Amino acid sequence: GEEWARRGAGHSGPIVVGDGHAIAPSARLLGPVVVHPQASIGEHATIVGPAVIGPGAALDAGAVVAHALLGPG
């Protein structure tokens, strides 16, 4: 993975992402968060770390996840 370059009011790190991810611009990631390849995070979703979003995992718009490990689906 690589350190996620996009930072702003909705992001604090560390945040590490894999290739091929889809993170909506309005999503909030409060690290530490690891986003594996092919994961997607919907509009206005919030992830509070420590959290791992596994390969192929999908968070719907408005989802809130805290201190979790999510698998595909």
Q: For residues 23 and 35, what is the distance between their CA atoms, to the nearest angstrom?
A: 9
DSSP labels, 26-73: T-EEESSEEE-TT-EE-TT-EEESSEEE-TT-EE-TT-EEES-EE---
Q: Is the predicted pLDDT of residue 3 greater than 80, yes or no?
A: no
Model pLDDT for residues 7-51, shown as the tens digit of each residue: 444 677 788 887 888 999 999 999 899 999 999 999 999 999 999
Amino acid making up residue 33:
V
Helix or strand run (H / E) with residue 15: strand 15-17
Does the reported pTM lie above 0.85?
A: no
Q: What is the pLDDT of residue 15?
A: 84
Q: Is the predicted pLDDT of residue 4 greater than 60, yes or no?
A: no
Amino acid making up residue 56:
G
Q: What is the pLDDT of residue 38?
A: 93
Q: What is the pLDDT of residue 10?
A: 67
